[in-house]
Chain A
Amino acid sequence: MSSLETNPLDPNPLGRDLSALGRPKSMAARRIREKVIVGALGLAACFSILVTTTIIVVLARETWGFFQFPDVTLAEFFGGFEWNPLLGAEKHFGIWPLVSGTLLITLIAASFALPIGLIAAVYLSEYASPRTRATLKPALEILAGVPTVVYGFFALTFITPILQKISPGFGSYNAMSAGLATGVMILPIVCSLSEDALRAVPRGLRDGALALGGTKFDVSVKVVVPAALSGIVAAFLLAISRAIGETMIVALAAGGIAQITANPAAEVQTMTAYMVQIFLGDAPATGVEYKSSYAVAATLFVITFALTMLGQYILRRFREEYD
């Protein structure tokens, strides 16, 4: 038999190794491989659950340990207006000064970033020409990618000196400077997410409003923004929760005095800044000061977690569906 005469029914006339070509495997083999792969991917998905569980367990256990110290009571932690864990013979662990410091910074940041971010988003989505959009969007993305420590440096070396020129009341550390820098940090988040929500509103709604004789202002503010409201609110909540959890800016520029004040020129300490102070300092790992940082972390976690959940709820519950 010559080598040219081949059996036409032979599926592999050249005798090549077909396993590399994706030769059909038996159904059983395919099914087993499929099971193994799904199992492995499922385990990867479980890892994220494990992370959350571990965060909660670690924070709960250490916070429990913190409340076992004789200096600490639950009532003082949630009701006390004095946070004084390091200095003096008498230690006080009332969370409110740290919470108020955090809120002051967040308030300053939000009142800067939320209006400007939303209006810029309306501009980008409704008014700007495609070319303007194509230049401004990447600039916003750059702003979003800047590490937060850079904003901290900016607050300390640029915003604070300017504030001090404007009014001598501002110290070298103050809430205003850190709050403004935090506002600059969350601005791209607000703008970019609100813009996504605005652009998701279908064209037909705009066309309808324009056809009724509305100006661009009427269309954007009375039709598009209300239609995208759930997305905008979710964007606001995400930005606020970022501001609450921001660490490096406040650690550099806000100072270290835990006090309840509404004065933006005053030095304040936020929850995150306190944690940095403890973990950078040399407090013994078994001491009450050290453990207190876990209780602060647990408070921070609960607050941001609640904000995220609220944002998701609003997105699900109040989403306007147009299809």
Chain B
Amino acid sequence: MAKVRTTASRVLTNRVFLLACLLATSIAMAVLAVLLVSIVWQGWDGLSWKFVTGLASRKAKDAGIMVPLLGSIWVCAICALIALPLGVGTAIYLEEFSKRTRFTRIVQTNILNLAGVPSIVYGILGLTAFARMFGAFGTNMDDASTFGDEESLFFLRLPFGSSVIAGGLTLMLVVLPVVIIATQEALRSIPRGLRDGAFALGATRWQTVWGITLPAAIPGIMTGAILAMSRAIGESAPLLVLGGALLVYNAPENLMSDFAVLPLQIYNWAGRPQEEFHWIAASAIIIQLGVLLLFNGIAVFIRQKLQKPLQ
């Protein structure tokens, strides 16, 4: 039989637990504060316009982050262009078209599994499938088949090697499950009645999706897409596996260019023993966090301003 406890002791337990709660929550918040303060402390002095627009350098005080910043933009743009249509399409198929068949159950389980695969494994996949193309075009990059002028925007090389396009496609693999799951949640939150209304007027499934469900779900989908992109812009492990191009002196010119990205540049500088490099790594982190905060801000804005109550 359970022990009978006095009210006083139960109230005391409650008080103690509330204290533990406050302690745990303040630890979490304190960690965030310490993280931000320690980075701003180390990196603030190094921030300047020259740092943002400067090119790579072997000396810490001359180094800038223009090249990795542009690289990040290129890679994320490619990633978004492919991951968003593919992910939204998959989510629409799963939520709006398919009946609960065996196939959709497998796809659904598979997507949840893909979301749990460590990003470095995607790096290995990208290296094999995009950078080397399974060795179908030879194993040596010097023998790669090239099409078009190396200076032009439409220069094509097979296999891709550790180029911008291989990086973008690899990141696409990483964020695809994120986009799919976010879009599914956005679609699920649309009330059934909206769809039923469209069906009652004789609309086909696709007409319903295109004219009713998708427009209503756009704020949710965009929020998910932005969060997926902020994941992509901070991801570095798969790109490290892919190319490990840590010193690149030129911004990408076309899809086959070598590239650096901001998180890898931070990794490179943070891993060096000299303190000056740690300082500029902290400065680069401030820029990186600024970009992320901007992304998050846009997502919050969309969520609050565009989302109309549908119930």
Contact = CB atoms under 8 A, between A and B. Distances in A.
Nearest to A286: B139
Interface residues of B, number: 89
A8 interface: no
B27 interface: yes
Interface of B: 10-11, 13-14, 17-18, 20-22, 24-25, 27-29, 31-32, 34-35, 38-39, 42, 85-86, 89-90, 92-94, 97-98, 104, 106-107, 109-125, 127-129, 139, 173, 176-177, 180, 204-206, 227, 230-231, 233-237, 240-241, 244, 263-264, 266-267, 270-271, 278, 281-282, 285, 288-289, 292-293, 295-296, 300
Chief secondary structure at chain B's binding surface: helix
B288 A147 contact: yes
Chief secondary structure at chain A's binding surface: helix
Contacts of B204: 30, 34
Contacts of B112: 308, 312
Nearest to A309: B113
A123 B28 CA distance: 12
Given A34-B206, A215-B14, A221-B17, A123 B22 contact: yes
Interface string A59-79: 100100000000000000000
A245 interface: yes
Given A51-B114, A123-B22, A245-B120, A58 B139 contact: no
A48 B180 contact: yes
Contacts of A294: 124
Contact of B234 (A37, A145, A300): A145
Contact of B124 (A139, A145, A216, A297): A297
A308 B116 CA distance: 6
Contacts of A117: 24, 28
Interface of A: 30, 33-34, 37-38, 40-42, 44-49, 51-52, 54-55, 58-59, 62, 115-117, 119-120, 122-124, 127-128, 136, 138-143, 145-154, 156-158, 184, 187-188, 191, 215-218, 220-221, 238, 241-242, 244-248, 251-252, 272, 275-276, 279-280, 285, 293-294, 297, 300-301, 304-305, 307-309, 311-312
27 contacts: A45-B89, A59-B121, A116-B27, A117-B24, A119-B24, A120-B28, A123-B18, A136-B25, A146-B292, A147-B234, A148-B234, A151-B35, A216-B14, A217-B17, A220-B17, A245-B119, A275-B241, A276-B120, A276-B241, A279-B123, A279-B244, A280-B244, A297-B120, A297-B124, A300-B121, A304-B118, A305-B117
